[in-house]
Structure 1
Amino acid sequence: MTRPQSEAEYLASIVPPSIRGVDRRTLLRGAVGVGALLGTGALAACSSGSTSSGGATSGPITGTVTLGSNQSDAVPKAAVQSVVDAFQKANSGVTVKVNTVDHNTFQENINNYLQGSPDDVFTWFSGYRMRFFASKDLASDISDVWSSSITGMSDALKKASTGDDGKQYFVPSTYYPWAVFYRKSLFKDKGYQVPKTLDDLKTLGAQMQKDGIAPIAFGDKDGWPAMGTFDQLNLRINGYDFHISLMAGKESWTDPKVKKVFDTWAGILPIHQADPLGRTWQEAAQALQQKKAGMYVLGSFVAQQFAKGAEQDDLDFFTFPEVDSTIGTDAIEAPIDGYMMSKSPKNEAAAKKLLAFVGSPDAQNIAVKADPSVIATNDGADQAAYTALQKKSVEFVKSAKSIAQFMDRDTRPDFASTVMIPAIQSFLKNPKDIDGLCNSIEQQKKSIFGS
């Protein structure tokens, strides 16, 4: 799939005005897995209101609107329901039927889901992943929702919601940073210091092992979490621009620069939890929560595994340590989530009403209160009510010069799901054959990207 935008446009920023003000704000586009989504029929009643070609309704908006959600973990699932409850309260004539599917199943099988009988509205991701399905004519143009109802979003966020044809297909809701998370009380009790460099991280890891603690929690049973570690290392070793080009299929995976990433990763695998392929990210997070592990490279959604209050207040994070002083640590990842409308919704009027609501400050205030691991995208949201972790997340993103999404959002969907997931899991099983690994990835990349 070729990019219709220039490289500069393609790498544009997508964070709200409240966290802008840096020298260079860029955000990489994402990708999506493909397959056949099972078990989510779209059951909806038609709206009694008629819809004009511009999307405006000429009568009352009523009936049932279906929402397909990938937010299957307890905390985000409850957050979605809280937003839905508030919407229904404000729109008494509309009922929202939420169809929740396991997060990984939803992502892996989204393609056939959208070609089958999808829900009216569905949760998804900004950037490349959104543009991919818009370009395949599997999502509806919601430009009228943006022009009539969406306020408080930065131009960059609107751009991240815009398809190749210049129309909007996505409403951003929340975002979250990836970093290295730890418990403040454990570091204080043991006298640990936040590592600034990779050597510092190795030294700290050795000390934690002496103390009977697994240095870095690690779980890759679902295939995607370890992608985050690759991203962090590639950003630190080769810089943001190379990472962009690699994800775009413009660099060779046999390049010594890529091999250095895997070699460096192999060097720090001993300070990770063993046997990661048998452990989910939630199970790894529980090791951090129970202080059986000292750190965890993950998104701030790790907080979902901590009890609200004292436990979550004890959670902190730092940026992935420096590997090369000439590269530094000013590139991070901060994926953005939101909502889209399927190609032929059964209740278009109610679907657009719901989309307008989820993009509002009121809805996002509800969402981030229910799930303190994420940040609102609307600049009108009430940041005064943020937890310490949320406030730090805002500043963390604000201080970054370059922002990526995540490997499985950053590249072609087929490359991410059919090549990189098994490749990384193969590496975790046998980190010694880096040449063979990189050769295999490159051959498959050429087949998929055509170069």
Structure 2
Amino acid sequence: MTQQSRIPLAARGPGRRSVVGGLFGAGAAALAAPLLTACGGGAAADPKTVTFGSNGADATPKSAYAAVTKSFTQDSGLKVKTNTVDHDTFQKSITSYLQGTPDDVFTWFAGYRMQYFAKKGLCAPVDDVWDTIGAGFGEATKQLSRGEDGTYYFVPLYNYPWAVFHRKSLFQERGYQVPKTWDEFTALAKRMKKDGLSPIASGYGGGDSWSVLGTFDYLDLRANGYDFHMQLMRGEVSWTDRRTARVLDLWREVTPYQQSGAGGRSWQDAAQSLVDKKSGMAVIGLFLGQQITDEKIRADIDFFPFPEIDPAHGQDAVEAPTDGFMLSREPRNEDGARKFLEFLGGARAEELYMGVDPSNLAVNARAATGSYNALQKKSAELIGSARHISQFADRDSDPGFISTVVLPGLTQWLGHPDDGAAALKRIESQRARFFSA
């Protein structure tokens, strides 16, 4: 029996969240069509039907969205025709999709990634929707949902934190203590290696190079603070800045403790090594829990915040990407689409979704959380305690810059983590192509 045939992870498919390799051009093949295309193409509008473009092709999110749309239909009498495409293809094809005849409502991401399409005029404002749903959200979420012009273009559904995950039973068996500082973290990694473990699970092979961004972001947030990190992401400071150089210096300290062969391994295989207790820790998102079908193992998964590096910044920033919905620029059933968005932004929709998918957290403060498992409750506390919330490098920055410049630079450097200055100089040489002065 091969390892893949015995794993307790859910059936493998496209990664949970892939970096947009082709955000600004045509994408790869969709599941059942050459490109991501809208339901019904250019057909005349049906006043009783809302079309919905979804990137939730994996089994769990697909079932969760089905529960949400079914409830909306029961409440409104409007049918939702869902066009589901795998996560990676959805992102790669999104620009051509939106420039064509997209679905009325489509899944997307908060922050910079939403703002890009808002500036391009490829989505419609939803201020009227926020007049209905706004009381359920805090200011931080509202900020993530507005374009640079102050207009709302996004309706949030859930978020999820990144942290350092581990198995509780392994820590108990080996007598490991949760580290709070960088020195404690590196000492624990050294001890794990001595104990015969791969201290830090890692897999960024193939299309999974995005996974290294979680480590980069946290190192920068902890060493240099949220403000500098956001300036770096927005192209406002040089990548050869001494503070960025320090990030790679810190990263180099733990590269001997990262799982070997990471460049040829998927993030799912890295996660599996954590589940199998072959690795001690993994810097990853809560979506790790979505992949686990064995409830005993799920109950044994725990996490701790990425350790403190500089006491001036402590652990005050949390990486918590926010997913939700947008309205296409010319929806065929605009009235129905806006009603659908009002429903999606309400507590009921979030409760239905989270009831099926335990790897996410509701962002509407009015949503009931009684069904949350232990990981969800702890995740909500982590996000709730954060002074700053970042999205993820490819969501906080120009995704083309991240996918074509930063990621190749970082993964190449990780293969031979010696000359960080040269790697940062190569990244910096391309910054002006993506960010105006």
TM, length-normalised to structure 2: 0.88
| Aligned pair partner of 1:110 in 94, 97, 111 | 94
User: What one-letter code is carried by the residue in structure 2 that aligns with 1:163?
Assistant: G
Q: Measure, in 1, the Cα distance between the counterparts of 2:133 and 2:383.
A: 27
Q: Any gaps of 5 or more consecutive residues in structure 2?
A: 1-18, 30-34
User: What one-letter code is carried by the residue in structure 1 that aligns with 2:107?
Assistant: T
Q: Measure, in 2, the Cα distance between the counterparts of 1:254 and 1:93.
A: 54
When residues 142 and 285 of structure 1 are mapped into structure 2, their CA distance, relative to the original with a 3 A threshold, is same
- Report Cα offsets for 1:387-412 as digits up to 9, x if no partner: 11111111111222222111011112
Q: Percent identity?
A: 48
Q: Measure, in 1, the Cα distance between the counterparts of 2:55 and 2:39.
A: 17
What pairs with 1:157-172 in structure 2 (closer than 5 Å)? 157-172=141-156
Q: Measure, in 1, the Cα distance between the counterparts of 2:235 and 2:136.
A: 35
Q: Measure, in 2, the Cα distance between the counterparts of 1:93 and 1:375.
A: 27
Report the counterpart of residue 381 of structure 2 in structure 1: 395
| Aligned pair partner of 2:60 in 70, 75, 81 | 75
Cα offset, 1:212, TM superposition = 2.6
Q: Measure, in 1, the Cα distance between the counterparts of 2:419 and 2:91.
A: 30
Q: Measure, in 2, the Cα distance between the counterparts of 1:155 and 1:245.
A: 21
Cα offset, 1:122, TM superposition = 1.1
Report the counterpart of residue 24 of structure 1 in structure 2: none
Q: Measure, in 2, the Cα distance between the counterparts of 1:93 and 1:109.
A: 28
Do 1:285 and 1:296's aligned partners in 2 also have CA atoms closer than 8 Å? yes
1:354 aligns with 2:350: no
Tell which deviates more after alignment, 222-231 or 342-351. 342-351
Cα offset, 1:384, TM superposition = 2.1
- Secondary structure of the residue aligned to 1:316 is strand
| Aligned pair partner of 2:392 in 402, 406, 414 | 406
Do 1:34 and 1:413's aligned partners in 2 also have CA atoms closer than 8 Å? no
User: What one-letter code is carried by the residue in structure 2 that aligns with 1:120?
Assistant: D
1:194 aligns with 2:178: yes
When residues 212 and 72 of structure 1 are mapped into structure 2, their CA distance, relative to the original with a 3 A threshold, is farther
Do 2:20 and 2:403's aligned partners in 1 also have CA atoms closer than 8 Å? no
- Report Cα offsets for 1:165-219 as digits up to 9, x if no partner: 3322111000111110111111111111111222222222222223332111111
Report the counterpart of residue 37 of structure 2 in structure 1: 41
Cα offset, 1:281, TM superposition = 1.8
Cα offset, 1:359, TM superposition = 1.0
Do 2:321 and 2:390's aligned partners in 1 also have CA atoms closer than 8 Å? yes
User: What one-letter code is carried by the residue in structure 1 that aligns with 2:293?
Assistant: A
1:284 aligns with 2:280: no
Report the counterpart of residue 250 of structure 1 in structure 2: 236
Do 1:121 and 1:340's aligned partners in 2 also have CA atoms closer than 8 Å? yes
Where has structure 1 moved over 3 Å in runs of 4 or more? 30-33, 44-49, 148-151
- Secondary structure of the residue aligned to 1:384 is coil
- Secondary structure of the residue aligned to 1:385 is coil
Report the counterpart of residue 200 of structure 2 in structure 1: 216
When residues 71 and 428 of structure 1 are mapped into structure 2, their CA distance, relative to the original with a 3 A threshold, is farther
Report the counterpart of residue 218 of structure 2 in structure 1: 232
When residues 278 and 350 of structure 1 are mapped into structure 2, their CA distance, relative to the original with a 3 A threshold, is farther
| Aligned pair partner of 1:439 in 420, 425, 432 | 425
Q: Measure, in 2, the Cα distance between the counterparts of 1:155 and 1:408.
A: 23
Cα offset, 1:46, TM superposition = 4.5
1:101 aligns with 2:85: yes
User: What one-letter code is carried by the residue in structure 1 that aligns with 2:24?
Assistant: V
Q: Measure, in 2, the Cα distance between the counterparts of 1:277 and 1:310.
A: 30
Q: Measure, in 1, the Cα distance between the counterparts of 2:310 and 2:140.
A: 30
1:365 aligns with 2:351: yes
Q: Any gaps of 5 or more consecutive residues in structure 1?
A: 1-29, 50-61
Q: Measure, in 2, the Cα distance between the counterparts of 1:78 and 1:211.
A: 41
User: What one-letter code is carried by the residue in structure 1 that aligns with 2:53?
Assistant: G
Cα offset, 1:136, TM superposition = 0.5
Q: Measure, in 1, the Cα distance between the counterparts of 2:242 and 2:125.
A: 43
Q: Measure, in 2, the Cα distance between the counterparts of 1:244 and 1:287.
A: 33
1:152 aligns with 2:148: no
Cα offset, 1:66, TM superposition = 2.4
Q: Measure, in 2, the Cα distance between the counterparts of 1:423 and 1:119.
A: 36
Report the counterpart of residue 427 of structure 1 in structure 2: 413
When residues 85 and 280 of structure 1 are mapped into structure 2, their CA distance, relative to the original with a 3 A threshold, is farther
Q: Measure, in 2, the Cα distance between the counterparts of 1:429 and 1:103.
A: 27
Q: Measure, in 1, the Cα distance between the counterparts of 2:115 and 2:61.
A: 24
Do 1:31 and 1:129's aligned partners in 2 also have CA atoms closer than 8 Å? no
Q: Measure, in 1, the Cα distance between the counterparts of 2:366 and 2:419.
A: 51
Q: Measure, in 2, the Cα distance between the counterparts of 1:399 and 1:138.
A: 35
Report the counterpart of residue 7 of structure 2 in structure 1: none
- Secondary structure of the residue aligned to 1:109 is helix
What pairs with 1:259-338 in structure 2 (closer than 5 Å)? 259-307=245-293, 309-338=295-324
Report the counterpart of residue 4 of structure 1 in structure 2: none
Tell which deviates more after alignment, 298-307 or 224-233. 298-307
Report the counterpart of residue 124 of structure 2 in structure 1: 140
Do 1:253 and 1:439's aligned partners in 2 also have CA atoms closer than 8 Å? yes
1:417 aligns with 2:403: yes
- Secondary structure of the residue aligned to 2:209 is coil
Q: Measure, in 1, the Cα distance between the counterparts of 2:293 and 2:349.
A: 23
Do 1:176 and 1:301's aligned partners in 2 also have CA atoms closer than 8 Å? yes
**How many residues get paired?**
408
| Aligned pair partner of 1:206 in 186, 190, 205 | 190
